Amino acid sequence: MSFIVYLSGEIHTEWRAEVQRGAEAAGLDVTFTAPVTDHPASDAAGDHLVKTESQFWRDHQSAKVNAIRTRTLIEKSDLVVVRFGDKYKQWNAAFDAGYCAALGKPYVTLHDTDIVHPLKEVDAAAQAWCTTTDQVVETLKYVLKA
Amino acid sequence: MSFIVYLSGEIHTEWRAEVQRGAEAAGLDVTFTAPVTDHPASDAAGDHLVKTESQFWRDHQSAKVNAIRTRTLIEKSDLVVVRFGDKYKQWNAAFDAGYCAALGKPYVTLHDTDIVHPLKEVDAAAQAWCTTTDQVVETLKYVLKA
Amino acid sequence: MSFIVYLSGEIHTEWRAEVQRGAEAAGLDVTFTAPVTDHPASDAAGDHLVKTESQFWRDHQSAKVNAIRTRTLIEKSDLVVVRFGDKYKQWNAAFDAGYCAALGKPYVTLHDTDIVHPLKEVDAAAQAWCTTTDQVVETLKYVLKA
Amino acid sequence: MSFIVYLSGEIHTEWRAEVQRGAEAAGLDVTFTAPVTDHPASDAAGDHLVKTESQFWRDHQSAKVNAIRTRTLIEKSDLVVVRFGDKYKQWNAAFDAGYCAALGKPYVTLHDTDIVHPLKEVDAAAQAWCTTTDQVVETLKYVLKA
Amino acid sequence: MSFIVYLSGEIHTEWRAEVQRGAEAAGLDVTFTAPVTDHPASDAAGDHLVKTESQFWRDHQSAKVNAIRTRTLIEKSDLVVVRFGDKYKQWNAAFDAGYCAALGKPYVTLHDTDIVHPLKEVDAAAQAWCTTTDQVVETLKYVLKA
Amino acid sequence: MSFIVYLSGEIHTEWRAEVQRGAEAAGLDVTFTAPVTDHPASDAAGDHLVKTESQFWRDHQSAKVNAIRTRTLIEKSDLVVVRFGDKYKQWNAAFDAGYCAALGKPYVTLHDTDIVHPLKEVDAAAQAWCTTTDQVVETLKYVLKA
Amino acid sequence: MSFIVYLSGEIHTEWRAEVQRGAEAAGLDVTFTAPVTDHPASDAAGDHLVKTESQFWRDHQSAKVNAIRTRTLIEKSDLVVVRFGDKYKQWNAAFDAGYCAALGKPYVTLHDTDIVHPLKEVDAAAQAWCTTTDQVVETLKYVLKA
Amino acid sequence: MSFIVYLSGEIHTEWRAEVQRGAEAAGLDVTFTAPVTDHPASDAAGDHLVKTESQFWRDHQSAKVNAIRTRTLIEKSDLVVVRFGDKYKQWNAAFDAGYCAALGKPYVTLHDTDIVHPLKEVDAAAQAWCTTTDQVVETLKYVLKA
């Protein structure tokens, strides 16, 4: 049994690598996908297109280019993991969760206990809440059990 | 021409009342809907159900009850306005935006200039970005023009 | 704010009337719908059609006629309440719950504590679990709050 | 011609193995999938996540983890076989049938004659009713005929 | 409880009027809709458009105009009755049945016993088979029972 | 029988008024909807939002505001009439036609004979091609026939 | 470029083999699928299930088993060819065409000129009408052009 | 990471080859698809079918045959590039864009600055606007970044 798992959210820690190493160590047949996680590259994703002075339109243009990748990968995945770290607003992660919810695409969240309350709507529509990458791997192990 | 407009997000300022007054002053045929905006009531939405010590499950239960209302109202609306204020994490607002995006439901955002960058994915899928409630009303006036 | 609520499941107790009285007492704007709850009539729903000796085909024919009503009412509802009583197999109630889950139609369950375990999949996809009709009414009151 | 067949329901008898042996003996190109059929493992599917004293929330958590697997496999299958045995409530099997019905996913049921009446709604939406695993295999043989 | 019922198929007998009189006599709250049943008008539905010598393109043009009405009415209906009489090919009736089946729109058939065999695929996807307009009315009475 | 008809395309001639007068004269129960047809207002639809020097982003912003209205009205309509005049590129009209085609929303075209060839893909997915507003009215008369 | 083509309809002539030979001769990368074309086997498709005296229920049962195959193959195909021969009622072929139309699945028809009129609704929703298997092959050649 | 990219629109310049060479030079794993780009062949796509004197029906027939290919390829693609050149009306390109928009299929446009204004609705629903084939390749490089 194989799965495609999209890893959404935080891009400034090693959580993706941890999940992937854990899955590999467990011999799971999982293909992991992700947004472009190079922050400056992501912010500049549309800079080769219309030149613009405005911060709003620069962001707009880059975000729309990023969405070509992220929407497609989310729609092709079997499961999405949405990670909320301890920095930044991370509204894009919550946006991805809402997107999954409307599609009926299962997702699990990965975040610390101290943000349980503000994430209650996001967690309520999730299939599981994990606090560690080990729990994510454990969940995958169970789901993909022979 | 009439419209149903769901007002999502921030519940600690008067923005909903401002939009409604503006629409009324302009004589627009708009029905406004919203989540339950009484914060303590919303947090306690599931407290009449299973008793639970755990903060996580209490939140979970309340959030699922709230979703009965919010998902239904979003799906019945013609337009959603998603408001991001200057307090709290407001992940539920971003979640609603993602939910709309996946449904193909048009939404506009309402937030200050200083959070343009972290909201770029949310704005990129929106039909418009407003910074004031007057701009929201102006947008409705145009959209509902005879 | 108004809602259409379909009351699925058990047909041998007064739970539907209790929920309706409660909603009325609370002044809620709810339209309740339901399957045909007259048990012999329901079993005979197709008896005016092809004559058949076989129990299987008699049941088959009646169940398909009943489905004209039940599927349509479920699809037109805003919320479904699925009741599991203490008698009979009630697979049709669980079937309705699964049907709702696949449609993304919100539902709440209504059942005693002693059947929590066998109903775990049904409850997991529900927006709430109630043990009393009062809790159902309370949930509706909250959801329809002005 | 190949098919993916999801085997839903009863986990305490050998029916899945019988169907698989029959299909293999007939040289059919069928991939069989199933939920995790280890009962204690299934009940504990979420135990590595939030610790909870409550039976309800433990079940809730495990059922949601199980659903990651089951929903995905049902959606990827070409046909679902839903088995009702002579023990337990088996509401999850009826739930899966309802889920298939709403998706337009074809399913066949497998159960004894004595439960024809309580299963009439489930059978009415099925493509076939089988009483033996041989009949399931026979059905597959026909469907996959060169 | 009210229903919209589309009456598809045969246009050369009084079956529509019979069903409507029966429903009226029973005091049912049903709105009946139908294709244009004036045969020459239906064949000429597109004659005010492109002039064409070709029988094929004349028929093509008229059939596409008719479809504006028939598709819309089928999609807006709660139930479709598909009538097969004893004259003509009536492929359009079978086409409507297939259209309903793919939409998940419930339909019942109305035809004599002698064409059970060639209509088996059409009947298999129907919710009921009636041989008389009385049976259709009886079915509506049951479905719309208070 | 009533219909909602969206009138898409050319905004510089009187064709919408002609169709509406014809429908009124024929006593048809049709509600007509349309985009904002005041050209300068439409170009300025987003000018109350982000100030921008760039023609591209000004157009972008206005077009997205216009789409709030046009997409909603198209989705709510029963039929769309897409008009191609003899001036301007009118890509938005062809865009609306493609949008309808993908939704399965029926539309008819209204254009002169000399542009039949470049419009062949647009006409091929339409239910009818009209050259005069009288033909549009005639088509509506037929479709709405009692 | 490759295509999956489902060959629906008439089972008493060699038309499927002709289309396949033509496609092979042209070196096209097409996978052809079809219903079970052995007439007695098809009529008996459900005879291994519930024993029934009634012709109606025997046909019903077999038709539902056949639908497991036919619906799945239609949904997996890129194009459907629907053949109407000069014998039998062939309502199942028209049913398949209606099914395709509602799914937005492209289909072409294959039939003689003398039945153009009764097939006008079926042809109107088709992408092409062919009178010979050579025309079907020619159409495939064009569609799959490198 | 691999992508399927459909190249829609202009058929009289070398833009498709340029994009493909660029993608190849960058070592991208992209499969490019396209309509039949041989103009006379495309106009004659249905000439092997019904003979017709009428230009309208000849175009109609050919356009419907072309749509078998184009709709299928658009639906199978991950991204569509819609090219508007400086000749012809190119309504089919705008039609494809509208089709993508309604499906939620991401597309980018490729056109010169001088037609920004008439293409504003088409660009507003696009994920990006490119003016050169290099920009298209650059966009693909970013989207497919390892």
| pLDDT level of residue C88 (50, 70, 90 thresholds) | confident
| Residue contacts between C and D (CB atoms, under 8 Å) | 130
pLDDT at D87: 84
Between B95 and D53, whose confidence is greater? B95
- Average pLDDT of chain F is 97
- Tokens 């606090």, residue? A131
Q: Testing the interface with D: which of G68, G73, G75 to mutate, by most D Cβ within 10 A?
A: G68
Q: What is the mean pLDDT of residues E104-122?
A: 98
List chain F residues with CB under 8 Å of H117. 55, 59
- The answer to whether residue B88 scores a pLDDT higher than 90 is no
Identify from C56, C91, C108 which residue to disrupt to test chain D contact, counting D C-beta atoms within 10 A and taking the largest count.
Answer: C91
Q: What does the pLDDT read at residue H53? A: 87
Asked if pLDDT for residue F61 goes beyond 90, the answer is yes
Statement: residue D102 has pLDDT above 90: yes
A86 has a pLDDT exceeding 90: no
Inter-chain residue contact D54 with B50, CB threshold 8 Å: yes
Q: Which residues of G touch E115 (CB under 8 A)?
A: 89
CA atoms within 13 A on the CB side of F40: 0
Is the confidence at residue H87, as pLDDT, over 90?
Answer: no
Q: Of B23-32, G20-29, G83-92, which range is least confident?
A: G83-92
C81: pLDDT confidence band, cut at 50, 70 and 90?
very high
Residue D118: name the closest of D94, D99, D87 by CA.
D94
Residue labelled with tokens 């599927």: C71
Write the residue in A94, A101, A103 that is nearest to B91 by C-beta: A94
Segment D120-144 mean pLDDT? 98
Least Cα separation, residue B65 to chain A (angstroms): 10
Whether pLDDT at C87 is above 90: no
Collapsed DSSP state (helix, strand, coil) of residue G90: coil
Confidence of residue D122 (pLDDT cuts 50, 70, 90): very high
Residue among D1, D78, D128 minimizing CB distance to G49: D128
Q: Cα-flanking dihedrals φ and ψ of residue B126, to 5°?
A: -85, 160
Rounded to the nearest integer, the mean pLDDT of chain G is: 97
- List C-alpha distances in Å: F75 to A56, A128, C62: 30, 36, 37
Task: Tell whether the torsion through CA atoms of D127, D132, D136 and D141 is positive or negative.
Answer: negative
Indicate the pLDDT class of residue C50, thresholds 50, 70 and 90: very high
Q: Sorting pLDDT into bands at 50, 70 and 90, what band is C106?
A: very high
Interatomic CA distance for residues F36 and E23, integer angstroms: 45
- pLDDT tens, F6-32? 999 999 999 999 999 999 999 999 999
With cut-offs at 50, 70 and 90, classify the pLDDT of residue H121: very high
Could you tell me if A50 lies within 8 Å of chain F, comparing CB atoms? yes
Interchain contact, C128 vs B46, CB within 8 Å: yes
CA distance E6 to H5: 42
Q: What is the CA radius of gyration of chain F?
A: 16
Longest dimension (CA), chain E: 55
Provide the 8-state DSSP code for F128. E
Q: Do A49 and H143 touch (CB under 8 A)?
A: no
pLDDT, mean of residues C55-71: 98
Residues of E in contact with H53 (CB under 8 A): 53
Is ipTM > 0.95 here? Answer: yes
Sheet with A3-9, side-by-side order of all strands: A30-33, A3-9, A79-83, A107-110, A128-130
Element (H, E) at E4: strand E3-9
Q: Which residue type does A88 have?
A: Y
F52 in reach of chain A (CB within 8 A): yes
| Residues of chain C found within 8 Å of residue B69, distances taken between Cβ atoms | 142-145
Task: List CB contacts (< 8 A) between C114 and chain D.
Answer: none
Residue B86 has pLDDT above 90, yes or no: no
pLDDT at F53 over 90: no
Q: Which of C39, C55, C120 is the best residue to mutate to test the D interface, defined by the most D CB atoms within 10 Å of its own CB?
A: C120
- Which residue of chain E is at minimal alpha-carbon distance from C75? E78
Dihedral Cα G19, G21, G26, G28, nearest 10 deg: 70
Residue of F nearest to H66 (CA): F121
The confidence score (pLDDT) of residue H21 equals: 98
The two three-digit tokens of residue D50, written as one number: 């939030």
Coil, helix or strand at residue H110: strand
Q: F44 touching H, CB under 8 A?
A: no
Q: Give the chains touching A; criterion: ≥3 Cβ pairs < 8 Å.
A: B, D, F, H
Residue C35's pLDDT band (boundaries 50, 70, 90)?
A: very high
Q: Cα–Cα distances in Å, from H139 out to B92, C97, H25, H128?
A: 31, 45, 14, 9
Kindly report, residue by residue over E23-65, the tens digit of the pLDDT. 999 999 999 999 999 999 999 999 999 999 899 999 999 999 9
Task: Tell me the chain G residues in contact with residue D145 when contact means C-beta distances shorter than 8 Å.
Answer: 36, 38, 41, 69
Question: Does F96 reach chain H within 8 Å, measured CB to CB?
Answer: yes
Q: Collect all residues with Cβ–Cβ distance below 8 Å to H48 and sequence separation of at least 6.
A: G135, G138, G139, G142
Q: Do the chains contact at D69 and A143, CB–CB below 8 Å? A: yes
- Chain-chain contact of D91 with C125 (C-beta, under 8 angstroms): no
| Percent of chain A predicted with pLDDT > 70 | 100
Measure the CA angle with vertex H33, ends H31 and H37; round to 5°: 145
Q: Name the minimum distance, in Å, from the CA of H99 to any CA of chain F.
A: 4
pLDDT at G53: 86
Place of tokens 């495609």: A4
Crossing angle of the two packed helices E55-76 and F133-143, in degrees rounded to 10: 60
Instruction: Name residue E48's amino acid.
Output: H
Checking if the pLDDT of F96 tops 90, the result is yes
Touching, E vs B (3+ Cβ pairs under 8 A): no
- Residue E146 has a CB neighbour count (10 Å cut-off) of 4
C-beta of residue B135 within 8 angstroms of C-beta of residue A107:
no
Q: Do B63 and A88 touch (CB under 8 A)?
A: no
Task: Flag whether F touches H (3+ CB pairs, 8 A cutoff).
Answer: yes
Which residues in G lie closer than 8 A to residue D139 (C-beta atoms)?
48-49, 65, 68
Q: Is F49 exposed, middle or buried (0-12, 13-18, 19+ CB in 10 A)?
A: buried
Is the Cβ–Cβ distance between B117 and A59 less than 8 Å? yes
Provide mean pLDDT across the span C62-69. 98
Q: Tell me if chain B has a CB within 8 Å of the CB of F34.
A: no
B60 in contact with chain A, both atoms CB, cutoff 8 A:
yes
Give percent above pLDDT 90 in chain B: 95
Q: Cβ contacts (< 8 Å) between E108 and chain C: which residues?
A: 68
**What does the domain layout of chain H look like in residue ranges?**
8-33+79-139, 38-76
Question: By CB neighbour count within 10 A (0-12 exposed, 13-18 middle, 19+ buried), where does F25 fall?
Answer: exposed
| pLDDT score of D82 | 98
Residue E120 and residue G63 in contact, taking contact as beta carbons nearer than 8 Å: yes
Q: What is the pTM of this model?
A: 0.97
pLDDT in tens, B98-120: 999 999 999 999 999 999 999 99
Going by C-alpha positions, the residue among E70, E36, E35, E63 that lies closest to residue E49 is: E63
**pLDDT mean over H62-66:** 98
H2-60 confidence digits (pLDDT tens): 999 999 999 999 999 999 999 999 999 999 999 999 999 999 999 999 999 899 999 99
Residues of G in contact with H68 (CB under 8 A): 79, 106, 108, 127-128, 139, 143
Q: Going along F34-146, which residue ranges are E strands? A: 79-83, 107-110, 128-130
Q: Which two tokens stand for residue E79?
A: 């139930």
Of C20, C26, C19, residue with least CA distance to C1: C26
3-class secondary-structure state, position D22: helix
Sheet holding E3-9, edge to edge: E30-33, E3-9, E79-83, E107-110, E128-130
> Among partner residues H38, H50, H67, which is closest to G129 by beta-carbon distance?
H50
E10 Cβ contact list (under 8 Å, min separation 6): E83, E84, E85, E87, E88, E90, E93
DSSP 8-class letter at G126: S
Judged by DSSP in three states, D55 sits in helix
The closest CB to that of A116, out of B59, B66, B93, belongs to B59
- CA distance, residue A117 to nearest chain H CA (Å): 33
- The chains found to touch B (3+ Cβ pairs under 8 angstroms) are A, C, D, F
What single-letter DSSP state applies at residue A70? H
- 3-state class percentages of chain G: helix first, strand second, coil last, to nearest 5: 50, 15, 35
Q: Are the Cβ atoms of A121 and B55 closer than 8 angstroms?
A: no
Residue from H2, H7, H3 nearest H80 by CA? H7
The per-residue pLDDT for B87 is 84
Q: What is the mean pLDDT of residues G80-85?
A: 98
pLDDT in tens, G108-129: 999 999 999 999 999 999 999 9
Cα(E144)–Cα(E136) distance, rounded to whole angstroms? Answer: 12
Calculate the CA A45 to chain-centre distance. Answer: 18
Q: With 90 as the cut, is the pLDDT of residue C91 above it? A: yes
Name the residue facing H123 among F60, F89, F113 (closest C-beta).
F60
At residue C75, φ and ψ (nearest 5 deg) are -65, -30
Per-residue pLDDT of C115-138, as tens digits, reads 999 999 999 999 999 999 999 999
Give the list of residues 6+ apart from residue G22 with CB closer than 8 angstroms, or none. Answer: G133, G134, G136, G137
Q: Report residue C86's pLDDT band, with 50, 70 and 90 as the boundaries.
A: confident
Per-residue confidence (pLDDT) for residue C110, from 0 to 100: 98
Which helix H or strand E contains H99, and what residues bound it? helix H91-103
| Res B146: pLDDT | 84
Q: Contact F70/F9 with Cβ under 8 angstroms?
A: no
Q: Is G60 on the interface with D (CB under 8 A)?
A: no
Q: Give backbone dihedrals phi and psi of D54, rounded to 5 degrees, phi first.
A: -70, 130
E143·C65 Cβ contact <8 A: yes
pLDDT, tens only, D68-101: 999 999 999 999 999 999 888 899 999 999 999 9
| Residues paired with D107 in a beta bridge | D80
Token pair of F6 as six digits: 């969206």
Supply the pLDDT for residue A47: 97
Residue G42 identity:
S
Find the CB nearest B99 among A101, A119, A124. A101
Helix (H, G, I), strand (E, B) or coil at B146: coil
Look at residue D88 in the predicted model and tell me its pLDDT: 85
Label residue H109 by pLDDT band (50, 70, 90): very high
Is residue H63 within 8 angstroms of chain G, CB to CB? no
CA D118 to chain centre: 18
Structure tokens at A95: 């946006």
CA distance C35 to F61: 49
Class of residue H129 by CB neighbours under 10 A (exposed 0-12, middle 13-18, buried 19+): buried
**Rounded Cα gap, residues H101 and G2, in angstroms:** 26
